[in-house]
Amino acid sequence: MHEYTVRLALEKDIDALAEVEQTAAQRFLPFLDQLQVPADLIEGLISPRFLRWAQVENRLWVATSQTQNARPVGFIAVKFLPESCFV
């Protein structure tokens, strides 16, 4: 059983998030036809610059696993909009 912790991202977490996003994108490859998107579109959707800014503004959270030495294994970034938010 994995135990996860969700916390605000630290500056040191940013570099690991590109790998997390690429790993997550691999899970969607079998569904490209249903999603109607090319494979290159589902990887690298979030720029490191956006992630750094979100981290500075406390809009970026990471999930870490105790079995993976507290390295990020997932993340969520939020951009607040006038009447909603983008996740």
Closest CA to 42 of 60, 54, 29: 29
Closest CA to 50 of 19, 84, 87, 82: 87
* Distant-in-sequence, close-in-space partners of 58: CB < 8 Å, separation ≥ 6: 8
pLDDT number for residue 43: 66
Q: How confident is the model at residue 35 (pLDDT cuts 50, 70, 90)?
A: confident
Mean pLDDT of 40-54: 82
Q: Helix, strand or coil for residue 6?
A: strand
pTM of the model: 0.78
State CA 18 to chain mean position distance: 8
